[in-house]
Every structure is written in C-alpha cells, then in structure tokens.
Chains A and B, each alone.
Chain A
Amino acid sequence: MNPHKIIEITGLSKKFKEVQAVDDLSLQIYERDIYGLLGPNGSGKSTTIRMLLSLIRPDHGEIMVFGKSLSRFRIQILGKIGALVEKPDFYEYLSARKNMEILSSYSGKKAGKRKIDETLELVGLMNRAESKVKTYSKGMKQRLGLAQTMLNDPELLVLDEPAGGLDPSGNRDIRNLIKYLNREKNMTIILSSHHLQEVELVANRMIIIGNGKKIVEGNVKDLLDEHTYYTTFSLDDELKARQLLEESTFEIEKTETEKNKLRIFCKRQIIPEVNKYLAERDISIFSIQIEQNLEDYFLTLT
C-alpha cells in the first residue's frame, strides 16, 4: 500500500521584483517521512517553507496539506503543524514560560503547565523556564524555538535550519529529538538545511533545489549512493594501499596520496568493501572520512 501523502506541492512559483525565488516547484511528502529540503543559500528553501506555512502568498501553484488546500483551509491545517522558521524570535521581555503560554493561546487551545513543562524538559530548558528570554544564549533560544513547535502536538513539524547556532552536542541533541519525534510520536518532519550531512543523518527522503527549481528528489540513500565522492583513508602504508587498489577490480576514478593518507574518488557504496579489502591485506586503517558536502554534491548534479 502506498504511504499517505501529507503534502503535495504543484507548480509553486514566487517572484520578488526581478528575482524568481521559487520556480515551478513540485514535491510530495509522505506520512512519517523525515524530508530534507536542501539547497545552497538563496536557493529558495526558506521561501518554499514560508509559502507552505502561509507566511508568503505564492504567485502560482497549489499547496495541499493533509489532503486540503492550504489557501482554503489555512486555519485547520496550521492547527496540525508545528513550525520553526529560521531563527526563533520571542518576546524578549517575557519569560520562556510566558512566551510558551502566549504562543499556545494562539493555537486555539492553551497548553497547560504540564504540557509546557514537558516540552521545556524535552529541550533541556526546564531549569530556565522562568528566566526572561533576553537572558538566553542563541543556542537556548533555538531550543526554545523547538519547544514551541511541540506545544500543540502537531502531526507535521516544519523545521527551517533548526541547528543554527547550536554547538556540536546541541546539534546531536536536535538530531536525536527529530528521530525521537518521528519514531515515537509519528510526526512527519520537514527539515530544511544547507548541510548535506545534517540531512543524511536523519532524513529518509530529500529534495535538492537550486535557483528555486527542483534539481533532484528521492530516497536519501539512493541519491547519495548514485554519486561519487572523495573519501580519505588514514592508514599506515598509503603507497601499498594505492598499489593494491590499482590492482583490484574496484571502480575507482582517481587516487591521491600524502603521508599516511589515501584519497580516492568513487561511489560511496563500495567504501565498506574497499575497507575490508585493505584490512585483509594487512593495511591498518585508523579512520575513513567521506568528503560529502552539498557544494560538491550540487556540482555533480548541475
């Protein structure tokens, strides 16, 4: 059975004066997807997300969410969505708890103390609930931004660059939270980012957009496996390793060496086999790093 479509965007376009921000974009997001919306800065990700949340009116196209037209059933649809668009801005002169109370009031049903405590606990801000937001760090505001998305128990979570301003451990916490919400709360999640790895670590499907147009859309693993990347092996004998690979049948397009490092250009699905092959031939491998950034990936697509 086909999974249920949560979002269907058809022929979406938006122009700001002379700039075509989004150009005839179509995409589908299915129930319980963690859907990565990827693209370099200025590619149209934020405009797409803002149109999806009715912050911006599209020039053309249709957005269907939960099987209903967003333009006609905006209130009903937004009641089932939690969103964090770019950096979260709160009423700085109020406490985190008061901000949560105000925001939940706009959702029609005011969240009780227990619900607010639960969401603040989930993002690790319970001990600062009564502090004014102006005393918060950038990372804390980001976590508070995430907390407010969960106040109305949404079915769909829209997160635009949610890890912005967070340190590596905060970044990991966000990834874990996204996976938890998807797995345990059955939430469908849209994650916008310009970091390919950030999306790869959590998303099952993704779209890459550039200049407002769809470049590619599909299963994250399939899309990434299809392409070639530079992979760097840290090992003890790079010359022997290079010779072994040249004698092998692996499809490797390029190899480069420097002291204790071997850099190969190949499809990433063969990396585990290359690793095994070298290890079996007495090469000690200390680390493997795939150089997989959006810019390189983007270049291979365009």
Chain B
Amino acid sequence: MIKLTKIELYKLFTRKRSYIGFIAILVIVLVAQAAMLWEGQAMHDFITSNLQDAFIMQGNLVNGYLMTYLVLNFLWVHIPLLIVIVTGDLISGESHGGTFRLLLTRPVSRWKLITAKFIAAKLYTFLIMVFFALISLGLGLILFGKGDLMVIFNSVNIIPENDLMWRFILAFIFGFIGMTTVAALSLLFSGMANNSLGPILSTMAVIILFTMISKFDFHIFAIIKPFLLTTYLDSWQMLFSFEVDIKAVIKDAAILLIHIFIYYGLTLWYFNRKDILT
C-alpha cells in the first residue's frame, strides 16, 4: 500500500494541475491581505460603527488574526473548488486517459488502487491546508501584527490575543477534515465517471446546492439538514465563540469523518464492479 501511495503521489505532483491550488491560494490570500492593508481600518470602522457608541475600541483590531479569520471563509467554496480540481480527476483521469487499461491488467487489486488514491487525496488536501494556514496566519501576523479578535458569531465576541492561537490551529484542523470530506465526495463521483470535468462540476454543484439548503431556515429542509455534509463544513466557526462548546465541535468533526468513510466505501463498492470500457 505504501508503494502504491508513493506512485499516486508521484503521479499527482508531476502534473502541473496539482500546483494550481497552491498558486491560487497564494494569490487569493495576498490579494485579500493587500486590500486589508490598503483600507482595512476604514472597512473595520464602517462595520463596527454601530458598536462604537456602546464600546470603547482600543488596540490593534485590524490584525493578523482578524485577517486569518476572514480568509477562513474561503473554506465555503474557493478552497473546495481548488481541491476538487485535482482530486476529482484522480480516478476519472485514468479512465479518460485510458491508463486504467494498463494498470488494471497488472496484478493489483482495485480496492488497493482506490485506497492509495484516497490516501494521496488526503495528503494533497493536508498540504493545501498547511499552505493555506501558513500563508494566511503566518503572513497575516507578519503584515498586520497581533491583537485581540473581534468576531460577530451569534453575538459580538472579543477574544483576547493570548487565547487565539489554539483556536486557529483547531480551526485549520477542522478545515482539513471538512476539505477531506469534499475530496472524498469528489473521488466518489470520479470513480463513477469516465471524464475529468463531470466529477469536478458535480461535486461543486452538490456543495453549492447543499450549502443553500443548509442555510435556508425552511421547515421542509430541517429533516434533511443533519445528513448534509455542508451543515458541518462551517463548524470551525464555533471555535470563535467566547465559550467554545468543544463537544459540539468534536461531534461535527465525527459526522464529517463518517461522511468520508461512507464516500470511501461507496467508491470501493462501485469501482470494484465497474467495467473498464474506455
């Protein structure tokens, strides 16, 4: 399995497409940071104008932590898309390219091949998230410095500077679990398809549709919401409540892990029965 995973990683990182995500994250975060550097204070003053009558604002509130908190919202759509561009093609790319005809006539089991691809996708997602964390948090702190974080999540929360780093680390870990779930879904679609574009578009369509359903407060959706992965993708935000309900965060992370195993199992089940016709 290690050997197969190494081959998958080699194939993955010798393709130019695999670096699009890293470049795009760098550009997106840098653009966001440049904009913040330019008119961050003005924007902050505008957003908090209603609060300034009730609170006395002191210190550096436009800081690296606020910057990182803001770019963490890219986990809604932007980062999933950049991950899915690569992971959605991992299986279907081999079907479309015809290389499965060569690989699957070798003495390798289909489940091992798919598992190796899942592991490679996880590692790729991990590297993307580490890069995202380093660029946003690391560069954010260098450019904007430290300070307390003021976030509006259910209510106004002002979290002291010395209580922030662990929250961000956990937020990125949660983000990694969320993005791995998205990658696993894209691999499921990838296992079913014989072209590269289908799984990428299908995954993004599901993410966008489910996000809309998750956010609508209609009773009709209440029954299905607990089963949608998008209901849990933004649970990292709970880490920025003043009092963190860590059990709720762990529960949501566990539900995402269950989603990953379900998608992995379905991919194995489907691919083991799939006729290679391309």
Contacts and interface: CB of A to CB of B under 8 A. Distances in A.
Nearest to B275: A56
Contact of B15 (A55, A78, A93): A93
Given A89-B98, A93-B15, A106 B106 contact: yes
Interface in B98-133: 98-109
Given A57-B273, A93-B15, A102-B10, A107 B107 contact: yes
A79 B102 CA distance: 13
B97 interface: yes
Contacts of A55: 100-101, 104-105, 275-276
Which residue among B99, B101, B105, B108 has the maximum number of chain A CB atoms within 10 Å of its CB? B105
A105 interface: yes
A54 B104 contact: yes
Contacts of B219: none
B14 to A, nearest CB: 6
A50 interface: yes
Contact of B108 (A75, A81, A83, A85): A75
B99 A105 contact: no
Contact of A89 (B99, B107, B275): B99
Interface in B1-32: 3-4, 7, 10-11, 14-16
A90 interface: yes
Interface string A99-121: 00011011110000000000000
B99 A90 contact: yes
A135 interface: no
Is chain A's interface secondary structure helix, strand, loop, or mixed overall?
A: loop
B162 to A, nearest CB: 49
Given A50-B276, A75-B108, A105 B7 contact: yes
Nearest to B276: A55
A89 B7 contact: no
Contacts of B99: 89-91
Which residue among B10, B15, B97, B101 has the maximum number of chain A CB atoms within 10 Å of its CB? B101
Given A55-B275, A105-B3, A106-B7, A78 B107 contact: yes
B273 to A, nearest CB: 7
A5 interface: no
A94 B276 CA distance: 23
B248 to A, nearest CB: 44
Interface string A80-98: 0101011111111110000
Interface in A177-224: none
A89 B97 CA distance: 7
A88 B106 contact: no
Contacts of B108: 75, 106-108
Interface of B: 3-4, 7, 10-11, 14-16, 97-109, 273, 275-277
Interface of A: 50, 53-57, 74-79, 81, 83, 85-94, 102-103, 105-108, 148, 152, 158
8 contacts: A56-B277, A57-B275, A78-B106, A85-B105, A86-B101, A88-B101, A89-B101, A91-B99
What 5 A-B pairs come out closest when comparing CB atoms? A89-B98, A106-B106, A79-B107, A55-B276, A83-B105
Given A57-B273, A106-B4, A108-B107, 14 more contacts: A54-B104, A55-B276, A57-B275, A74-B109, A75-B108, A88-B98, A90-B99, A91-B97, A91-B99, A94-B14, A105-B3, A107-B106, A107-B108, A148-B102
